[in-house]
Structure formats: structure tokens, C-alpha cells
Amino acid sequence: MEQTLEFAREAHAGKPQLPLALRLIQNTGVQKRHLVQPIEETLNHPGFEVRNRIYEMESKKRCPEVIEEALANAQLTAEDIDAIIYVSCTGFMMPSLTAWLINHMGFRYDTRQLPIAQLGCAAGGAAINRAHDFCAAHPDSNVLIVSCELCSLCYQPDADDIGSLLSDGLFGDAVAAAVMRGRGATGVRGVQLERNASYLIPNTEDWISYAVRDTGFHFQLDRRVPGTMEPLAPVLRELGETHGWDAGDLDFYVIHAGGPRILDDLAKYLGVDRTAFRHSSATLTEYGNIASAVVLDALRRLFDEDSAIPGHKGLMAGFGPGITAEMTLGTWV
């Protein structure tokens, strides 16, 4: 936090919007972030081509170790995986990294590939939902989910509007992976998914967006975004009701933390104690907003806490551009 504020003061000294931006950055609650490059290199912009080359190099360098850990946790090998869902909105590759993973990590050549590139922070929830759909259609299958978000490669040194300055102090870099098993397994813990849903708030498509320019992706954030939990909370309640559950009275929550107000408002409108979102809050504090990887890291914290018992009911949800919500209900087993 201290480094971020100091760099912001130096880079944007004398600009009238700086005091407000500094206050907003302080209010994010982000105390620490991890960047794929040293901060001095992050603040430099060598051009979109060079940055995208860094994205490709770093994703190939960092994803395999995380994937191996996820496979080991699921008691599987690469050959056991039937589909790979790869989510990322911070760099571009064609073919997708899925092709490289299949060629270099021992996945079968008939493995299905599903890259998701344009759902931003909602993509973590979308990946879980699409994996759920795949396993529902193919019950003996196993799906690998990979999230690679190198948000710092989207930093634009010349962008000094409030939205850009806030995002510069909010987003961090992360790689995450998880495995979904179609029929579960003996000796492993996890969430048995039961129902998923998607929802788009009408006429909000320009509230979170990228402007694609010569210098790369320019993140654009509307000031109304923090208020989106008010219309989304009833959607979450309706999802719970269709399943016979009360979304405001569940045992665990894995929620995308775009910022502290998102969690504050969702607690308010769902009528749950703010501590129910402690895993998402911890991710935000220790890593920043790591886009699609937030829900996977918050889920990891649920595993690590080891407080859930068989039969506990829970909700997972990711929010992002659209404004899109991807929601899942499941039971701990």
C-alpha cells in the first residue's frame, strides 16, 4: 500500500484528481500485492507487443507448477483430464495456452479446450459453471480450470483518470488452478456443485470495459459499479429459492472481491454477517483484486481453514463486465 501511494504521488504529482485517487486507493483495503515483474519495470511501458510477449512467457513459466499442485490435490494426473478451461483477460495468445499445456504437460490430445477471455473478473465463476455443465453432461469426466491474470501488464502510465488510478492501486497478479471431478472421489474434500446460473444486469455493458489502443488494454471503470450488489442480491436470493435454500442463511460463501464495498453491500442486501466473506476479504487484502483468480483463492482459503463439515451449504459467485454474475450452489462433502 505504501509503495503504491508513493509511486502514485510521484507519477501524478500536481494533478487535481490525485488526492481523491489516493483516498480511494487507501480505502480498497489492499495491503499487499504480487506483481510478475519488479515494480520499476511494471511502471515502464515498452509497448503492447513487448508486454504481450511477457504475458506469454510468464504464463508458460508459472502455470505448470500450479496445475501440478491442483492435479495432485485431486489425486489425478494430466492424462485423467478431459477438458481444460483457461481464463484470462490480461493478455492474448492464439492458439490459447491450452494448446501449449496439452503439448508440454502430458494431457491427452483429445482433451477439450475452452478458453474464456472476455468475462474479466466474472470468468472465475464462469469457469466453475462451465466445468459443472461439462461434468453434468459427461459424468465420468474431469475438468481442469486454470486462471492466469497478470493485471500489472495492463498498467498505463499516462492514464490519470480516477478509474485508472484506482485500478492501479487495486489489481494484482496471480495464477490459480482447480480440478472438478464428474463423480467425485474417495479421500478428497470439496464442494459438490448442485445448481448454477448466470445473470446480466441490463444496460450496464459499458460500466466495466477495455479500450483497446496502440498501447494495449485500457481498463475503464464506471463510478456506479460498486452499487451493483443491490440489483444482484435479489438474483442470488432467487437462485437459492429455486433450490430450496435461503441465500442469506448458508454455511459458507466464496465471493469475488472487486473491492470492499462489494462485500459490504452484499452482506447488507443478503442480510448476512460480513465475516461470512472473510475468505474473499483476505484475498483482497493480501493479493488485491486478482480478477478471475479471486474465487479460486477464496475457495483455497475455505479448504485451508478446515471449518466446513459434510452437509454445509454454500454459494460461490463471480462478478465482472456485462455487468455479469456467475453463481453456483454446492454442498461440502
Show which residues are catalytic: 121
Give the up-direction half-sphere exposure of residue 223: CA atoms within 13 A in the CB hemisphere. Answer: 4
Q: List residues bridging with 320 in a β-sheet.
A: 324
Q: List residues bridging with 113 in a β-sheet.
A: 84
Contact present, 270 and 233 (Cβ < 8 Å) = yes
Q: What is the DSSP string of 243-255?
A: TT--TTS-SEEEE
CA 273/CA 249 separation, integer angstroms: 10
CA 41/CA 238 separation, integer angstroms: 46
Q: Is the bond into 323 cis (omega within 30 degrees of 0)?
A: yes
How many residues belong to the chain? 333
- 29: helix, strand or coil: coil
CA 136/CA 275 separation, integer angstroms: 32
Cβ contacts of residue 193 below 8 Å, gap of 6+?
A: 128, 132, 180, 328, 329, 330
CA 107/CA 82 separation, integer angstroms: 8
CA 82/CA 197 separation, integer angstroms: 23
Contact present, 253 and 233 (Cβ < 8 Å) = no
- Greatest distance between any 2 Cα atoms in the chain: 61
- 194: helix, strand or coil: strand
Residue with cell 481498463: 219
